[in-house]
Structure 1
Amino acid sequence: MVSRQFPRPAELFELMKFKKPELDGRKRRLDSALTIEDLRRIAKRRTPTAAFDYTDGAAEGELSLRRARQAFRDVEFHPSVLRDVSQVDTSCEIWGGPSALPFGIAPTGFTRLMQTEGEIAGAGAAEAAGIPFTLSTLGTTSIEGVKAANPTGRNWFQLYVMREREISYELVRRADAAGFDTLFFTVDTPVAGARLRDKRNGFSIPPQLTPGTIIDALPRPWWWIDFLTTPKLEFASLTSTGGTVGELLDSAMDPTISFEDLDVIRSLWSGNIVVKGVQSVADARALADRGVDGVVLSNHGGRQLDRAPIPFHLLPDVVREVGADTTVALDTGIMNGADIVSAVALGARFTLIGRAYLYGLMAGGRQGVDRTVEILRSEIERTMKLLGVASLAELEPRHVTQLERLVPRPRA
């Protein structure tokens, strides 16, 4: 029989200690987010449909994006036990400099569309976290503005080779002069992918007030207040080149881009040159043979060619082929620190986050980006400890098995 007694007042009072309420709505909202998916849900509530879908969506049936995320979920970890993991070192060297974590912020276009702080929030959060920030050619903060926001951290620049080549050349010179140390030469956008969510939403840059957007904005007045009371949304590094936003966007996609363009850009750039958008072992080999400083395995977040190769699946083969000759990095599909640990274990020297950063931005501006980094850092550290590794250098392919879901049929 269980012995029973009247509750003692002192014991009741111990149970009745209430947590001090958080009066800052933004902090309360962000503190409730325990995962990147949580930030995504908050972002969806707070952002007009067209802007959220521009970030969240991908090309055509969005198969590439779903497959990339599923590939990370289809991982089996193999931990080692009885290792001292009281302290873990998440830092690494990448392209001649340090990063406190094995990921940086990927280049994203139209970033102030998602939330008005835009690239300034991303660059400031990157500096605070000790990780690199990458500015897109189609960014809404200028090269010089990003440098001012991240004066002591590492800034990288993502380049589209535009139809008017001199525009791209001038951007390279400006980024070089501003002290950006790595350039991402992007090769997966000869034409724009078919982003059907945007077409269905009547999405435009800048956003236009229509009956649909007005109705959609009613429960999100704060977004429109920010949008209408802050500087005009434009491609900040391209304002001096003339042309409408649409014309500049069309100009950024050029089907004539070639290896010769890579050679020209290399002659103009004094820092590291990395080719972003590599999707085959053969192309990785060809680029390594040309002496590039690195390749980023990427299908543009699933936003270009739907049914494109899954970068995480491609990673082990590319590392075996060129890992001794050039640095291999990876993006697309990362939603958890465990995804990043998996990629490093299979040979990626670095990873990049795009949507994960933007979900935080939409959820809470600069504080939301800080929360993204905090969540991923915690997940990386916990995963490493549970795997029994105290540093990134200890991660090896033996720690990860890629479970097979999509198995190719034998070729005839």
Structure 2
Amino acid sequence: MKPGNVAEYREAARRKLPAPFFHYIDGGADEERSLRRNSEAFGDIRFNPRTLADVSRIDTSTQLFGRDVAMPLYLSPTGMTRLFHHGKELAVARAAAEAGIFYSLSTMATTSIEDIAAASGGPKLFQIYIFRDRGLSREFVERAKVAGYDALALTVDTPVAGNRERDRRTGMTMPPRFGPESLLSFAMCPEWTFNFLRSPDFRLANVAHRVDALAGGAMGIIQYVNSQFDPAATWEDAAWLVREWGGRFIVKGVQSVEDAVRAKAIGATGIMISNHGGRQLDDVPAPIELLRPIRDAVGPDMELIVDGGVRRGSDVVKAVCMGANACSIGRPYLYGLAAGGQKGVASVLSIFRSEMERTMTLLGRTDIASLDESAIASIGA
């Protein structure tokens, strides 16, 4: 039976993927309390529905990063998508374009900036890090400009990689490595293993020409992150990237009011309120819990995206009611990709849209502009 919600796609992905790669998607840092809280926090928010409103037509469309989009949802940048399906980032970008929403390409992708631009005419964002090699960061900016990306997002919450204990226990490496610990899980996933043997290209496509870190063999993700990202980066470096890019610029990984204010001060046009899906520092607030204070601090004009814990269309509606311009998802679409390739991603996005439409109908709200704090009854309970 076809999965009907994100939880069912998660289970389908678990059956399809070798254990190291499922747990790489699914896991968080340390005790994984932030990972769990990201989703639980949405359940603490209660709606205030209106009845006997004309809800015969529901419109989920809005604007984001200067583009018209079909709904206030977009696909977060996720690294090394080839691990989860041989369709790679191309399958995800095409599904996003068909759904009329933004796709975000990660620096750590297994498909290049240029190949995504050639394959998808939909709205696109490129996600960047500040590398120890500033020349590499500058190169990414220029390549994204030439390729016509609509926005640039700087991830700021990875001065070092988080303590992802599931990856250590499962022997997660990039590229995949067959060994005693993982051999059984590969054998139990014949479809994935067949496609791996047929197409074993797991290069980090955007950096391999400058930092061929994987040429010497498999290595842990944490090892790679700690060797390449610059822990000495500061707000001055972020301001430098704002100037280099000269367009819509989003700071991803803001987890405090103070940093939100700093992001606005350097010229950022948007903020992704994010704790990296609970994969970096454990025991931090859920992004949805930070939304109201950050909106109060930065005012109405800055675009705010809630990134983390979004599992239902109703979660997106709650965030928009509370002041977000949109939400972004990572794990949900990767579950869909692992389970069914491009069609799986498209199905997950269709589920989110239908859930949004149903929630808005039952709330008595017909369009995104009508979603405001009056639709929220309480937080907590």
Assess same fold via TM > 0.5: yes
2:332 corresponds to 1:356: yes
**Aligned residue runs from structure 1 range 255-294, under 5 A:** 255-294=231-270
Which stretch shifts more, 388-397 or 261-270? 261-270
Query: Of the candidates 67, 80, 98, which is equivalent to residue 128 of structure 1?
Result: 98
Q: Distance in 1 between matches of 2:378 and 2:247?
A: 35
Deviations 1:337-360 (A, max 9, x none): 000000000000011110011000
In the other structure, the counterpart of 2:311 is 335
Per-residue deviation at 1:403?
Answer: 3.1
Q: Distance in 2 between matches of 1:402 and 1:70?
A: 15
In the other structure, the counterpart of 1:385 is 361
2:144 corresponds to 1:144: no
**Aligned residue runs from structure 1 range 85-164, under 5 A:** 85-150=55-120, 152-164=121-133
**TM-score, normalisation: structure 1:** 0.88
Q: Distance in 2 between matches of 1:252 and 1:260?
A: 19
Letter in 1 for 2:40: Q
CA contact (8 A) 2:75 2:333 kept: yes
2:149 corresponds to 1:180: yes
**TM-score, normalisation: structure 2:** 0.95
**What stretches of structure 2 of length at least 5 have no aligned partner?**
none
2:22 corresponds to 1:52: yes
Letter in 1 for 2:243: S
Per-residue deviation at 1:401?
Answer: 4.0
Per-residue deviation at 1:250?
Answer: 3.0
Query: Of the candidates 250, 258, 261, which is equivalent to residue 226 of structure 2?
Result: 250
In the other structure, the counterpart of 1:305 is 281
Q: Distance in 2 between matches of 1:188 and 1:62?
A: 17
**What stretches of structure 1 of length at least 5 have no aligned partner?**
1-28, 406-412
Q: Distance in 2 between matches of 1:64 and 1:140?
A: 28
Which stretch shifts more, 36-45 or 325-334? 325-334
CA contact (8 A) 2:171 2:181 kept: no
Which has more radius of gyration?
1
CA contact (8 A) 1:43 1:362 kept: yes
Per-residue deviation at 1:252?
Answer: 3.7
Q: Distance in 2 between matches of 1:38 and 1:248?
A: 32
Query: Of the candidates 147, 164, 168, which is equivalent to residue 199 of structure 1?
Result: 168
Q: Secondary structure at the match of 2:206?
A: helix
Query: Of the candidates 203, 208, 223, which is equivalent to residue 234 of structure 1?
Result: 203
Q: Distance in 2 between matches of 1:172 and 1:402?
A: 43
Q: Distance in 2 between matches of 1:201 and 1:362?
A: 18
Per-residue deviation at 1:363?
Answer: 0.7
Letter in 2 for 1:388: G
Per-residue deviation at 1:289?
Answer: 2.5
Q: Distance in 1 between matches of 2:270 and 2:213?
A: 34
Go from structure 1 to structure 2 and tell me whether the alpha carbon gap of 1:252 and 1:400 turns closer, same or farther (over 3 Å shift): farther
Q: Distance in 1 between matches of 2:136 and 2:205?
A: 13
**Aligned residue runs from structure 1 range 10-21, under 5 A:** none
RMSD over equivalenced CA pairs, Å:
1.3
Per-residue deviation at 1:285?
Answer: 1.4
2:193 corresponds to 1:224: yes
Go from structure 1 to structure 2 and tell me whether the alpha carbon gap of 1:272 and 1:251 turns closer, same or farther (over 3 Å shift): farther
Q: Secondary structure at the match of 1:226?
A: helix
